[in-house]
Amino acid sequence: MSEAVEPALERAERQERFVSAHLRRIFGQIYRLVGNAADAQDLTQEVFIKALQREEQLRDEQKAAQWLSRIATNTSIDFLRRHGRFLHCEIEAAPEPHAESPEARLLRAEHREYLEDGLRLLSPRERAALVLRDVEGLPAEEVARQLGCSKATVRSHIANARVKFRRYMERRKR
């Protein structure tokens, strides 16, 4: 009964608070997985819509945060599977004004592109495992939870991903 009669405004405010609390984190997580700001924006929106359509899962805040991350990971993996390993070019969002010189920004963008190329050689699950473990710094157990697989499987994904990524870096250095 309480759900049915919850005022629309209160519900909207609760949803707004939830989105504000997690938007940047989830966008960042998805961006690191798909490597493209425009795709990350679309997928982030999709993740929040999916989550808010099942609000009964959001009662416990900590669990809700983990659940949201899991949806983000799975949605990103599905996206990577659908789009293969060749991703579209980055559509740069308008940069914020800052003190960095254009040369430094260009170098940083090039280095990022070089690393992104390495990640594109990995399968979606290997990429997700590497990003969650080495980029996001999550414990292996949490990575396994987010990917919905055993710890042994996730270790295998992480090891394969590191081997491929390192070989790529060595090839590019030559």
Partner 1 sequence: MKHAEETSLALWAGGELGPLDRWLVGRHLTRCAACRGEVEAFGGARVEAASLNALPEIRWDRLGPEMKANIRLGLSAGECVGPRTPLEQQRPLVTLRSVVAWASVAAVLVAGIWIQDPGPARGSREMSGMTGVVLEATPTGIELSEGGQRLILMHPRGSQGTLSFGAQGVMRAGYVDADSGHVTIHHVYAQ
* Residues near partner 1 (CB under 8 A): 1, 7-9, 12, 15-16, 19-20, 23-24, 27-28, 31-32, 37, 41, 44-46, 48-49, 52-53, 90, 92-96, 98, 111-112, 115-116, 119, 130-131, 133-137, 140, 155-156, 158-160, 162-163, 165-166, 169-170
CB of 144 to partner 1, least distance (A): 11
CA distance 160 to 148: 18
Is 77 or 130 the residue whose CB approaches partner 1 more closely? 130
Is 38 or 83 the residue whose CB approaches partner 1 more closely? 38
| Count of CA atoms in the C-beta half-sphere (13 A) of 68 | 29
Can you tell me whether residue 39 is helix, strand or coil? helix
- Tell me how crowded residue 108 is: count the other CB atoms within 10 A of its CB: 11
Is 65 or 134 the residue whose CB approaches partner 1 more closely? 134
CB of 62 to partner 1, least distance (A): 22
CB of 47 to partner 1, least distance (A): 9
Nearest to 46 by CA among 21, 17, 11, 78: 78
Is 93 or 148 the residue whose CB approaches partner 1 more closely? 93
CB of 158 to partner 1, least distance (A): 6
Asked if 65 and 110 touch (Cβ cutoff 8 Å), the reply is no
DSSP 8-state secondary structure symbol assigned to residue 121 = T
Is 79 or 165 the residue whose CB approaches partner 1 more closely? 165
What is the sign, positive or negative, of the torsion defined by CA atoms of 113, 114, 117, 122? negative
CB of 126 to partner 1, least distance (A): 12
Which residues are within 8 A (CB) of 76 and not within 5 positions of it... i.e. 6 or more apart? 29, 30, 33, 34, 43, 124, 128
